[in-house]
Every structure is written in C-alpha cells, then in structure tokens.
Amino acid sequence: MMTINTIENGIVIDHIRAGYGVEIFNYLGLDKVDYTVALIMNVNSKKQGKKDIIKIENEINFDLSELGLIDPDVTINIIQNHKISKKLKLSLPKVVENVIKCKNPRCITSVERNLAHVFYLVDEKKGIYRCKYCDEKYALGNKS
C-alpha cells in the first residue's frame, strides 16, 4: 500500500471525482509551482468508490469557488500544524466571469473581444448557466 505523508501547513482538496484531479491540478497551475504538491489518483473511497486527492504544502491564495465548476462535490481542508483547521464544502458559484465562454455566434461577446463572458447560475441541480448578454444556456458536462 502506498503511503502519502500528512502536510504541516497547506491545503488538501479531497473528494475529487476520480479522473478530475488532473483537471483541477492543471486549472490551478500546480505544474508550475516550486513547493511540494501531491496528486493522488484513484484512491479507494467508501462514499465514491474511487476519488482523487490533491495535497498542497504551502499557503496559497486563489479563488477556490471556481473549482465548483469542475467538481462541485470537492471538499477543501485547510491544514495548520498537521491538523484540519477549516473545512470548506464547495458549491456551484452563482456568477462566473471569463471561465465559461459563450458559444452563440450572435452574442455580443463574439464581436466585442474585450467584453467579459459572464454567466449566471439558473439551475443548481442540473448545473445550468445562462449568458448575461444573450441568454445562451450552458450545461456543465459533469452534471446530469
């Protein structure tokens, strides 16, 4: 059995749907950092069957809310002195800017290149967003 040590201070991104760990790892740009990061894939999980985990041994500042777009079931554990000091449960963000791109060729965002792509959450259960400008619907791929 493989052993991954605990971290002293940092973040553990847990309960990532198996296979989505790489996507989150890349989204956060963790391949370009100079501190210790572990991406653990296909870990046995009683709840999920299999899951991925990312351990980051560093204090980092980034907006974790957008991770909810990749996998809204993710749990964020803030670690201080080898213990969980805070546990965050993610949900889908109500508004996202420049994360989802509007695909409607008639949308103002396809003409005005510097205009932000803004989407509002309209159905949390189905993961459906609508474009602020043209009302184009965007459904997240990992929701059903």
pLDDT digits (tens, 9 = 90+) for 26-41: 888 898 999 989 999 9
Interval 88-137: pLDDT, tens = 887 788 898 888 889 999 999 988 889 999 999 999 888 899 999 999 99
| The two three-digit tokens of residue 93, written as one number | 């963000």
Q: What is the separation of C-alpha 81 from the centre of its chain, rounded to a whole number of angstroms?
A: 25
Question: For residue 68, what pLDDT is reported?
Answer: 77
Write phi, then psi, for 138 (nearest 5 degrees): -135, 120
The residue ranges of every structural domain in the chain are 10-89, 95-139
**95-139 to CATH, choices 2.30.30.20, 3.40.50.1820, 2.60.40.680, 3.30.70.2190:** 2.30.30.20
Average pLDDT over residues 79-88: 90
* Percent share of the chain, pLDDT over 70: 92
* 3-9, Cβ contacts within 8 angstroms, sequence gap of 24 or more: 4/38, 4/40, 4/55, 6/79, 6/82, 7/36, 7/55, 7/56, 7/57, 7/79, 7/82, 8/57, 8/79, 8/81, 8/82, 9/57, 9/58, 9/59, 9/79, 9/80, 9/81
Give the closest residue to 96 by CA, choosing from 125, 63, 71.
Answer: 63
Question: For residue 144, what pLDDT is reported?
Answer: 36
Please provide the CATH number assigned to the domain covering 10-89: 3.30.70.140
